[in-house]
Amino acid sequence: MSAPQRNQSAPPSITEPALPPEAYRQAVGQADLAISITDPKANILYANESFTRVTGYAPDEIVGKNESLLSNHTTPPEIYQAMWAELSAQRPWSGKLLNRRKDGSLYLAELSISPVVDRSGQTTHFLGMHRDVTALHQLERMVRNQKHLIESVVDAAPIAFALLDPGGRVILDNQEYKKLLTDLRLAEPAHTLLDGLQPGWRELLATTPGKCAFANREMRIDRPGSRPRWLSVTASAIDLQSDCIDSYFCAAGQPGLLLVLSDVTSLREEQERSRAAALQAVLAEEERTAAIREGLSAALFRLEEPMNVMSSAILVLQRRDPASANVLQDALQASREHMETLRQVIPQSPQEIVVPVNLNEILRDVLEICTPRLLSAGITVDWQPAATLPPLAGRPLQLRMLFKALVDNAIEAMNVKGWRHREIVLSSAVDEDRIVISVIDSGPGIPPEWRVKVFEPFFTAKNGSGKHIGTGLSRAQQVVADHGGIIDLIDSPSGGCAAIVEFRVDGDPI
C-alpha cells in the first residue's frame, strides 16, 4: 500500500508592486541627505540637491569631478587606506572626513559609502551618503570640555562630593571623597553619614526626596588608633535624567542626592582642646565636692553605729535609772540634731538636664583628662570606638564621672609595684538596640566573691581589705541606673577585670 502523495503545488507567489524609475529618482533627488553616485574610481556621476546645499557645488560644477575635490587634504592617510580596503572588498564603509566647501570653509562630513555590485559580482558604482556634522562635533567637544572642566574643578576642590542615585548608589564622586573612603575605612562614607544624620533617608529618597535635604549638619566619626574626624555635611535633592530608552518621551526625572562634605576636624580639635581644659576644671571641682560629700556621708554613716548603741542603752536605763536615761536621751537628741544639721550642709550633686549625648565624645573626654595619670603609671590605652554611635539621652557630666571612675579604678588596679603588663582596652559598640561600653584592664582582677560587694557603699578592693571609707563604685552604679542601663564586672581575657556598661538606644531601662 503506497503512502498518500503530498500536494506538490507551489505556494502562490507574492508580487510586490513595482515603483516607476522616476519615483526612485525623485526620492533620491529630494532626500534631505547629501547623496552622490560615482564610478569605481570615485568620479561623480550624480549629486542631489542636498549635496549642493552641503558642499556649495552645483551639479554641473561637480559631476565629472572626483570626490577628492572635496578633501581638505588634512584627513590622515590611514583613514583613506582603511576606506579603500573595505570598498575594494565590496564592504560598506562609514567614517568621518574633513572636507572643504566651494567657498573654502571647512566642515566635518560623516560618510557612509556602499559598493554597488552587478550580477557578475563586479563593482560598478559607489553610493555615497554624507551629512554635515560640524555643529554636532562642536557641541560634543563643548560638552566634553565642560565635563572635563567640571571634573577638574570638582577634583581640585578641598571638599568632598558624592552624588547618589535613587537606589542610594554613589554614581559620581571626587578625589577628596575617595580619600575619605581610604582614611575612614568605611564601606561607603556617604551611607554612614546619612544613617547618622538623616535616619530613614533611603525611604525618603524614594518617596519624598525633598525631605532628604539638610544643610551644615556635623557628625563625628571615630577611628581605632587614630584621631576622630568631624565632617560638616550638606545634602541637596536634585533631578537626574534617566538614560533608559523607554524614558525618551517622559519629561519626569529621577531623584538623586548630592552630598557636600567639608572636613572641620582642625577647627573642632581646637575647640575640643579649649573645652577639655574647662571640662577638666569642672570635673576636678566636682571630684572635690564629691570627696567632701562622701567624707561627710561616711562620717554620718559611722556615727550612726554609736548612736544606735546609745538608743539601746537608754531603753535599758529607763527601767533602772530613769534620771540618767533622760539625761542620755537629751544628749542623744542633741546629737541627732547636730547630725541633721551636718547632713543639710552636705553638697548636693549637680542637677543636669537630659540632652542627646555621643558616648564616643564622653569617652574621648575621659581619656584626655586621664592622660597624665595613664602616662605616669606607664599604662597604654587601646582605643577601639565604633565609627558612629546613635545619640543617648543622658546627663553629660554624670556620664563623664561614671567612666572616669571606671578608668581610675582600672589605673588603681594596675598601679602595683612590679606589675609589668599595664594596658586598658576602651571600646564602644552597637549591639542591636544597645550601646555597649567596655573598660578592660590587665590588672590582677577582682575575686568572684567581691563582684557584688564592689557596688556597696564604702567598699574597695585596695590592699585586699574589702573595706574603704567612701562610696566606691556605688555612685557609678547609680549613674548607670539613672540612665536605664546596667553595669557588670567579668574576667577579662588577660586575667584582669572588664567593666561592661550597657544602655538602650531608646532610653528605656534594660
Domains of the chain in sequence order: 21-137 (3.30.450.20), 157-241+253-263 (3.30.450.20), 270-344 (no CATH), 355-504 (3.30.565.10)
Q: How far apart are CA 37 and CA 349, in angstroms?
A: 101
- CB of 165 closer than 8 Å to CB of 202: no
Cell reading at 151: 571634573
Collapsing DSSP to helix, strand or coil, 7 comes out as coil
Show the beta-strand stretches assigned E in 143-225: 160-164, 170-173, 214-223
Show the beta-strand stretches assigned E in 8-158: 34-38, 44-47, 93-100, 106-117, 123-132
**Overall size of the chain counted in residues:** 510
Q: What are phi and psi of 468, to 5 degrees?
A: -170, 140
Q: How far apart are CA 260 and CA 253, in angstroms?
A: 21
- CB of 126 closer than 8 Å to CB of 87: yes
H/E run at residue 230: strand 226-240
- Helices 265-320 and 322-344: crossing angle, nearest 10°? 170
Q: Cβ atoms within 10 A of the Cβ of 510, count?
A: 13
Side chain identity at 484, as an amino acid letter?
Answer: G
Comparing CA positions, the residue from 366, 374, 369 lying closest to residue 412 is 374
In a 13 Å sphere around the CA of 158, the CA atoms on its Cβ side amount to 3
Predicted confidence at residue 253, as pLDDT, reads 65
- Give the angle 308-314-316 at the CA atoms, nearest 5°: 110
Q: Cβ atoms within 10 A of the Cβ of 417, count?
A: 4
Q: What are phi and psi of 263, to 5 degrees?
A: -80, 115
- CB of 504 closer than 8 Å to CB of 431: no
DSSP 405-428: HHHHHHHHHH--TT----EEEEEE
Residue reference for cell 599604662: 379
Which class for 248: exposed (0-12), middle (13-18), buried (19 or more C-beta within 10 A)? exposed
Q: How far apart are CA 370 and CA 362, in angstroms?
A: 12
Q: Cβ atoms within 10 A of the Cβ of 173, count?
A: 21
Sign of CA dihedral 99, 105, 106, 107: negative
Enumerate residue ranges in the chain where pLDDT < 70.
1-17, 241-253, 287, 290-291, 294, 349-350, 456-472
Comparing CA positions, the residue from 377, 486, 477 lying closest to residue 437 is 486
